[in-house]
Structure 1
Amino acid sequence: MTPRKQIHLAAHFPGVNNTTVWTDPRSGSQIDFASFTHLARTAERGKFDFFFLAEGLRLRELKGRVHDLDVVGRPEALTVLSALAAVTSRLGLAGTVNATFNEPYELARRLSTLDHLSGGRAAWNVVTTSDAFTGENFRRGGYLDRADRYERAAEFVRLSRELWDSWEPDAILADQAAGRFVREGAIGSVTHHGAHFSVEGRFTLPRAPQGHPVIIQAGDSDEGREFAAATADVIFSRHGTLEEGQRFYADVKARVVRHGREPHQLKIMPGVTYALGDTEEEAAENAAGIRRRQVGPQTAIAFLEQVWGRDMSAYDPEGPLPEVEPDLSEGVSQGRVAIKDRAAVAAKWRALAQEKNLSIRDLVIEVTGRQTFVGTPENVARRIDEHVQAGAADGFILVPHLTPGGLDDFVDKVVPLLQERGVFRTDYTGTTLREHLELA
């Protein structure tokens, strides 16, 4: 009998986006360290693989004004994770850091430092940026063409690994045991001359506890899938349904093999949300309430403007979709992921609104604000297990709708049921994130 696959779980700090229900009285600060501590400790209590932080290099704008949600602040990820290393002992610590607006030597040092401080729990979510809007905060500006961003990222990761590998394994331990400082030759010199980077020198830190920090990649484009298949240890995807997940899973795992790797060397973990209830009806009611609070009237109009590319503030969010056509010349939103084909998206939204007789707000709720897993704890545990056993995912990154207590119910009510099924650990068996993810 084939053993049941073990499920991997991670916790995403909700951050500044429309997932968070800001109006809930239990919603707390996005920058107070106590918020990060609460969510991280809850995830560690639930024996999760890692805690995950996103990144924001510039405040987003809508019609030339700072987007309302961004005013709560966007802390720098590795600083927060270094502090969390002191208040956790097993939980992996994953930070999103941009490969377009950083330099390999410095970032490799920061990530290696986190890995040493945490005893081998560091992870890097590699992201790229091609837009000049974000680049205005940096010396090089928006100099990269979109086609070049993954090329730079791939070279960035290769060079970082050269730096991490430049010290002999266990050089310090061996030399300390012999009563001497690190001997000549134990520290290698790195010489790299590529299309994007030129580095000659010696790295300042010995090999980290888990060798390399875990590499995470978030992307659904063909370039993103290829980059993950060749380079990453984890891919953070958006495919929450069983059928979509199975197609994505099969495609990416096949690419992994084509790159000469084993399928298990890349874990596929979609980002998901959830809503629980004592009954299926109560869970559905909770989910509907969360969706309406996530997409308030102002947010509904903001989403519409991103697709229509024009000021829609004169329209009633509780009224019907207007007849006006999208302005495809330029958008009104900056700092968000670009919508590739706004005309096609607008046509799809209009057809859906007509079919279901939806208001603007109900339409936006329908297309953006839904929970992946809705039901009783027993039903949610069963469905999560089914997705993993059916080859739709290796696990999930949970994105709660509340900061910082949004993970509490899942850890208290769903995790024990997964443990009873024999598909999730009852305790950590290793100390490093690579061991948690079965990559070691």
Structure 2
Amino acid sequence: MSTSDGYRGESGGRGKKKRIHLAAHFPGVNSTTVWADPRSGSQIDFSSFEHLARTAERGLFDFFFLAEGLRLREHGGRIHDLDVVGRPESITVLNALAAVTERIGLAGTVNATFNEPYELARRFASLDHLSGGRAAWNVVTSSDAFTGENFRRGGYLDRADRYARAAEFLDTTRELWDSWSPDGAQRPFSHTGRQFAIEGAFTVPRSPQGHPVVIQAGDSAEGREFAASAADVVFSRHSSPEAGRAFHADVKRRLDRYGRQPGDLKIMPAVTYVLGDTDAEAQEKAAEIRRQQVSPQNAILALEQVWGRDLSAYDPDGPLPGIDPDPDSGRVQGRVRVADPFAVAAKWRALSQAKGLSIRQTVIETTGRQSFVGTPRTVAAALEEHVATDAADGFVLVPHLTPGGLDDFVDHVVPLLQERGVFRTGYSGTTLRSHLGLPAPVWKGGTP
């Protein structure tokens, strides 16, 4: 395999630099996206998806990544403002993007709790065929009864069981994909387990990648073990060097017990960036973006997510509440719950008092920070350092603008990474597995 694409090893061999993997996350209904910027466009129109995907492909990225939202989130009994713009179904969008892109991988988030293996296996195998081997599935789970109300089995899954179901779901899906052999022979499938009991004949022949690439994002002990046993890519949240190296080492250590090599799993944290003509200018731009991301209204919403109370009467430019959180209020629905709101509230109060920060300033300080800030050369050097020191194998870039937020990175940072010899100058393969340097899946179908 050409070194202009991926490779299985961790260092690229003696005398070779470790190559960087890059992916693009579509900026949608999250606190990163700045909707007030006049350059901000629709996150529903297909033209927005097309622009970002084509920009990422022009930048020779490994894949384009879509999130999923199965229910509009609520805050105080009302639809969360960011969700009012809607949340399209990811595989539908990726199928359309397959027709207007040629090489970039197409990754979609699909929930293993509220789907069934047979249907999902068909959808991803079809996408893999339509795209010529570029499909990827980001496996997520849910124990949220609020989301489950949209489904027939709403709320039935205990939180402790979600990884057990996801693991069997993925195993069953791979059994379906393996019911067609590499030479085109088909055989009936039969699976009986705690979560699923299905049998029949799978309708889609073996796809170009054999198995679409599997992405996983859990950070718990169960999530890390699941990633080591079954995932090809980990979408991690550890973007600082120290946290990244600790996570990278922990997950890679777990691979051996499953007969896997370090290069068989790529760890790619979600990161943001801000560029400027000078480092000082970039820092000023980053501070302004943080202020845009955390408007006065968003500051109160972020505060209510921790406190679980109606805090609309508080002044965003005033001090933090003196009252304790109410973690059982149910004021925020469909958003990630704060694990220990009392500890978070205490930390925020201490920070606010130490630095004399208002509510809005405290939220900006604790939630609105960019990962890489500086000139293109500064950012390129920092990205290389992260990968060279095993803080990551690559990055999933989350721009703050839809859909043009990736343009300046592709135009100004990618050429510098290429000059440094740490990023491809062209796609040498046609599948996402080849871009990532992942081994072909071993066919486990037996004799048809």
Pairwise TM-score range, normalised by the shorter structure:
over 0.9
1:283-322 alignment to 2 at 5 Å? Answer: 283-322=282-321
Q: CA deviation at 1:156?
A: 0.5
Helix, strand or coil for the counterpart of 2:65?
A: strand
1:82-161 alignment to 2 at 5 Å? Answer: 82-161=95-174
- Is 1:46 the counterpart of 2:59? The answer is yes
- Residue 266 (structure 2) aligns with: 267
- Residue 246 (structure 2) aligns with: 247
Which residue identity is paired with 1:321? Answer: L
Counterparts of 1:111 and 1:41 in 2: how far apart (Å)? 21
Counterparts of 2:223 and 2:125 in 1: how far apart (Å)? 24
- Residue 18 (structure 1) aligns with: 31
- Residue 416 (structure 2) aligns with: 417
- Residue 333 (structure 1) aligns with: 332
1:128-149 CA-to-partner distances (Å, cap 9, x unmatched) read: 0001000000000010000100
User: Bigger relative contact order, structure 1 or 2, given CA contacts below 8 A and separation 6+?
Assistant: 2
Q: CA deviation at 1:52?
A: 0.1
Counterparts of 1:27 and 1:255 in 2: how far apart (Å)? 42
Q: CA deviation at 1:110?
A: 0.3
1:41-81 CA-to-partner distances (Å, cap 9, x unmatched) read: 00000000000000000000001110000011100000000
1:51-70 alignment to 2 at 5 Å? Answer: 51-70=64-83
Counterparts of 1:87 and 1:167 in 2: how far apart (Å)? 28
Helix, strand or coil for the counterpart of 2:44?
A: coil
Q: CA deviation at 1:18?
A: 1.2
- Is 1:165 the counterpart of 2:178? The answer is yes
Counterparts of 2:186 and 2:339 in 1: how far apart (Å)? 47
Q: 8 Å contact 1:20–1:294 — kept in the other structure?
A: yes
Does 350-359 or 398-407 show the bigger shift?
A: 350-359
Q: 8 Å contact 1:277–1:286 — kept in the other structure?
A: yes
- Residue 7 (structure 1) aligns with: 20
Counterparts of 1:253 and 1:346 in 2: how far apart (Å)? 34
- Residue 371 (structure 1) aligns with: 370
Q: 8 Å contact 1:39–1:407 — kept in the other structure?
A: yes
- Residue 178 (structure 1) aligns with: none
Q: CA deviation at 1:370?
A: 0.8
1:180-195 alignment to 2 at 5 Å? Answer: 186-195=185-194
Helix, strand or coil for the counterpart of 1:44?
A: helix
Helix, strand or coil for the counterpart of 1:388?
A: helix
Which residue identity is paired with 2:371? Answer: T
Counterparts of 1:63 and 1:14 in 2: how far apart (Å)? 25
Q: 8 Å contact 1:238–1:271 — kept in the other structure?
A: yes
| Structure 1 residue runs without a partner (length 5+) | 172-185
Over 6 Å off, 4+ runs: none
Helix, strand or coil for the counterpart of 1:270?
A: strand
Superposed CA RMSD in Å reads 0.8
Which residue identity is paired with 2:51? Answer: H
Helix, strand or coil for the counterpart of 1:236?
A: strand
Q: CA deviation at 1:259?
A: 2.4
Counterparts of 1:90 and 1:170 in 2: how far apart (Å)? 24
Q: 8 Å contact 1:306–1:331 — kept in the other structure?
A: no
Q: CA deviation at 1:263?
A: 1.0
- Residue 398 (structure 2) aligns with: 399
Identity of aligned residues (%): 74
Helix, strand or coil for the counterpart of 1:37?
A: helix
Q: CA deviation at 1:222?
A: 1.0
Helix, strand or coil for the counterpart of 2:130?
A: helix
Counterparts of 1:47 and 1:350 in 2: how far apart (Å)? 44
Q: 8 Å contact 1:44–1:88 — kept in the other structure?
A: yes
Does 45-54 or 247-256 show the bigger shift?
A: 247-256
1:328-354 CA-to-partner distances (Å, cap 9, x unmatched) read: 333411101111111111111111111
Q: 8 Å contact 1:8–1:424 — kept in the other structure?
A: yes
Which residue identity is paired with 1:129? Answer: S
Q: CA deviation at 1:327?
A: 1.7
Counterparts of 2:406 and 2:246 in 1: how far apart (Å)? 28
- Residue 386 (structure 2) aligns with: 387
Counterparts of 2:328 and 2:80 in 1: how far apart (Å)? 21
Helix, strand or coil for the counterpart of 1:209?
A: coil
Helix, strand or coil for the counterpart of 1:215?
A: strand
Question: TM-score, normalising length from structure 1?
Answer: 0.96
- Residue 33 (structure 1) aligns with: 46
Q: CA deviation at 1:220?
A: 1.0
Counterparts of 1:366 and 1:260 in 2: how far apart (Å)? 43
Which residue identity is paired with 1:97? Answer: V
Which residue identity is paired with 1:244? Answer: A
Counterparts of 1:158 and 1:274 in 2: how far apart (Å)? 37
Q: 8 Å contact 1:28–1:35 — kept in the other structure?
A: yes
